[in-house]
């Protein structure tokens, strides 16, 4: 073997070693985990395996951080502390929580109270796993405390106060949208161009699926596991609120987790409401709102919001589309 070919061989060995050792592999990196009482998932395209996997971890860490701050199921969350003390004295919420509560209150104004985080004075009496629900007298008494105007924010002091004893807030109708929006913001800042972050019924898409739109399935609200339709989307948020997520049936009545603030009972008339738009916090809050408002009022609200569209399935299985959507052929 001459010196030249020995050198070439050594070079080849080194190159092969480097190729094996370097984690460079453009691919999809993904995972799904139970979190926030639902499933959180992420799928992202990255050129580098180590970075791709690290970013997946970052998304779960962020979702976990937000859950610890905002979950009413955790005694030591800031929200739980607010619920315990804000009727007696202002409680420091911190800028992030204060901003999200402010956005929730803004949606209450926008929806004339259909979206209202104080729904929890009634909501707290439900346990869907054990089929527990409040009796009529409890609903009646708690209903007076469902009023977003009883929540007072002091932005300068960073505090929340309640104007009456017994008021409670719960961000269940907006926090998952915040998680997916935060997740995508984090990925975008890291240079990711193609991703989807999902928390339960809320998804935020970043870019497309490398040359093709993401295909988002909207569940058939009465056929478990079936998809009522598939919507091609990119760079959008999409949220669905349904009466099939947390519920129990009793004497032919479905008791589910979306409360109509005006009656204090689960909203009726709609089986699922999907809202598509540029911001996941808004699509989450709006899907809950449209569910409460019903087909007519809900679609009228969406028509006033530029960039937002909706798909509503009513209690007859009839599907309604907002004006900016092209219904699939055969759907009407």
Rounded to 10°, the helix 95-110/49-70 angle is 70
Which CB atom, from 119 or from 321, has the smaller least distance to ligand ADP? 119
DSSP codes joined into one string, 52-95: HHHHHHHHHHHHHHHHHHH-TTSTTSHHHHHHHHTTTS-EE--H
Decide: is 288 part of the binding site for Mg ion (CB under 5 A). Answer: yes
Strand, helix or coil at 183? Answer: helix
Q: At its nearest, how many Å lie between ligand ADP and the CB of residue 202?
A: 6
Residue of minimal CB distance from ligand ADP?
Answer: 172
Q: Considering only residues 222-281, where is the footprint of Mg ion by CB under 5 A?
A: 241
d(CA 240, CA 301): 16
Q: At its nearest, how many Å lie between ligand ADP and the CB of residue 266?
A: 8
d(CA 295, CA 314): 7
Distance of CA 108 to the CA centre of its chain: 17
190 in Cβ contact with 55 (< 8 Å) = yes
Picked from Mg ion, ligand ADP, none, the partner binding residue 116 (CB below 5 to 8 A depending on kind) is: ligand ADP
Site string for ligand ADP, 18-57 (x = CB under 6 A): ----------------------------------------
Decide: is 173 part of the binding site for Mg ion (CB under 5 A). Answer: yes
Which CB atom, from 43 or from 143, has the smaller least distance to ligand ADP? 143
- List the one residue out of 260, 264, 262, 266 whose CA is nearest residue 245: 266
Residue from 83, 111, 287, 322 binding Mg ion (CB under 5 A) = 287
Strand, helix or coil at 211? Answer: coil
Which CB atom, from 38 or from 234, has the smaller least distance to ligand ADP? 38
Decide: is 243 part of the binding site for ligand ADP (CB under 6 A). Answer: no
User: In terms of DSSP bridges, do strands 247-250 and 253-256 run parallel, antiparallel, or are they unpaired?
Assistant: antiparallel
Binding site for ligand ADP (CB under 6 A): 115-117, 119, 123, 170, 172-173, 176, 200-202, 241, 245, 257-259, 261, 284, 287-288, 292
Binding site for Mg ion (CB under 5 A): 173, 241, 284, 287-288
């Amino acid at each position: 073997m001459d010196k030249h070919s020995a050198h070439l061989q050594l070079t080849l060995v080194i190159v092969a070693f480097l190729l094996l050792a370097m984690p460079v592999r453009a691919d999809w990196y993904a995972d799904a985990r139970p979190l926030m009482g639902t499933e959180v998932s992420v799928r992202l395209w990255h050129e580098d395996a180590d970075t791709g996997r690290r970013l997946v971890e970052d998304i779960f860490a962020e979702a976990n951080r937000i859950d610890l701050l905002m979950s009413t199921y955790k005694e030591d969350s800031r929200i739980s502390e607010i619920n315990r003390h804000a009727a007696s004295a202002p409680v420091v919420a911190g800028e992030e929580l204060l901003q999200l509560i402010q956005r929730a209150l803004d949606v209450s104004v926008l929806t004339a109270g259909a979206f209202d985080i104080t729904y929890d004075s009634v909501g707290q009496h439900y346990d869907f796993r054990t089929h527990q629900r409040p009796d009529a007298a409890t609903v009646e008494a708690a209903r007076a405390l469902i009023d977003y105007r009883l929540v007072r924010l002091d932005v300068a002091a960073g505090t929340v106060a309640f104007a009456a004893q017994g008021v409670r807030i719960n961000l269940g109708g907006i926090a998952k949208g915040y998680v997916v929006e935060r997740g995508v913001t984090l990925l975008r800042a890291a240079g990711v161009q193609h991703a989807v972050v999902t928390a339960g019924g809320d998804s935020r898409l970043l870019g497309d699926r490398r040359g093709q739109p993401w295909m988002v399935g909207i569940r058939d609200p009465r056929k478990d596991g079936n998809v009522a339709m598939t919507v091609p989307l990119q760079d959008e948020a999409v949220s669905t609120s349904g009466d099939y997520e947390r519920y129990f049936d009793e004497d032919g009545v479905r008791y589910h987790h979306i409360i109509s603030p005006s009656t204090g009972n689960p909203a009726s008339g709609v089986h699922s409401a999907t809202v598509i738009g540029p911001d996941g916090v808004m699509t989450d809050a709006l899907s809950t709102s449209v569910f409460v408002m019903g087909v007519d009022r809900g679609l009228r609200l969406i028509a006033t919001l530029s960039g937002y569209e909706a798909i509503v399935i009513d209690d007859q299985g009839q599907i309604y589309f907002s004006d900016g959507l092209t219904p699939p052929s055969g759907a009407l």
